[in-house]
Amino acid sequence: MTDRDELVGRMLLAGRELSNAAVMFHTALAEHQGLTATEEKALDLLERFGPLTGRQLRERSGLAPASVTGLIDRLERKGFARRVPNPEDKRSVLVEIVPDRLTALAPLFDDYVASLKGLVTRYDDRELAAIVDFLTEAAARQREATRHLQSP
């Protein structure tokens, strides 16, 4: 095994560890609000991208159509999201966040975000750009893998 093979293996293992830690963190975070991790991550998508149609939410999440419909129903029933008329297409609706429901989630991130801001001080701008590039591309590939798993 070459040094590069070993380094790639360590990187893949670190990615698995990060994925595991992220799932567990978001599961614990979601439980604080009576949500599932999937529901909490859907709210993250809605917060970052604004109101989305069910189709757009499906495309951004990679979930199957029936899964997204059930997800929206649950978020609406729990009071975290609502369906509103789509001003650009009267035949569809948008799913939007109920803003005051998310205010309780924000402080739960504070310590973690502060810790990450401390961590980035280890890296110069070039290294951070490489990390951002890798994480962005890895996320795109993971979304594609999710779509592949969800397709019939």
**Secondary structure (H, E, C), 97-123:** ECHHHHCCCHHHHHHHHHHHHHHHHHC
pLDDT level of residue 56 (50, 70, 90 thresholds): very high
Percent of the chain whose predicted confidence (pLDDT) is above 90: 70
Structure confidence at residue 100 (pLDDT): 85
Contacts of 11 (CB under 8 A, 6+ apart): none
How many Å apart are CA 38 and CA 62, to the nearest integer? 11
Q: What's the whole-number mean pLDDT along residues 45-57?
A: 95
Q: What's the whole-number mean pLDDT along residues 70-87?
A: 95
CATH architecture of structural domain 3-150: Orthogonal Bundle (1.10)
Counting Cβ atoms within 10 Å, is residue 63 exposed (0-12), middle (13-18) or buried (19+)? Answer: buried
Structure confidence at residue 61 (pLDDT): 86
Give me 121's structure tokens: 């001080």
Q: Find out whether 66 and 109 touch, Cβ atoms under 8 Å.
A: no
Q: Find out whether 72 and 54 touch, Cβ atoms under 8 Å.
A: yes
DSSP state of 134: H
Structure confidence at residue 65 (pLDDT): 83
Domain spans of the chain, in order of start: 3-150
pLDDT level of residue 35 (50, 70, 90 thresholds): very high
pLDDT level of residue 108 (50, 70, 90 thresholds): confident
Three-state SS at 63: coil
pLDDT level of residue 62 (50, 70, 90 thresholds): confident
Give the HSE-up count for residue 97: Cα atoms under 13 Å, Cβ half-sphere.
18
